[in-house]
A = this chain, B = another copy of it.
């Protein structure tokens, strides 16, 4: 189904293998998601995307669980079936319980609703929201 197919480790050149090795090391797992295997046909994008993900998803002021839940929120808003499936599992691995998931979905649904009400009613931004 993937446009150029999925590139397995055995068929990959050294640049792609290096990324696969790093993914395995950082994520402490042998599996490489289909997403990376599809992207591998463009090694430059594979590497840049993985480096960005590594940087962005590392725990910082926000922990990994929070970051994964934000990822699910965006993917759901965008209706991306692959990403919802993938990041729901990642969030669960990071500690997301069914109760957390339920609340996350409730907020995502409500936000998508009020975003449209605010714009549909052409509400002007309150002056006190302007910080600069």
**Could you tell me which A residues sit within 8 Å of B by CB distance?**
1-6, 31, 33-35, 38-39, 41-42, 44-45, 48-49, 52-53, 55-57, 60-62, 66-67, 69-86, 88-89, 97-126, 128-132
Chain copies in the assembled complex: 6
Q: How far is the CA of A103 from the CA of B61 in the complex (A)?
A: 7
Q: How far is the CA of A32 from the CA of B89 in the complex (A)?
A: 27
Query: Are B3 and A103 in contact (CB-based, < 8 A)?
Result: no
Query: Are A77 and B74 in contact (CB-based, < 8 A)?
Result: yes
Chain B residue at minimal CB-CB distance from A125: B85
Closest chain B CB from A27 CB (angstroms): 14
Closest chain B CB from A43 CB (angstroms): 9
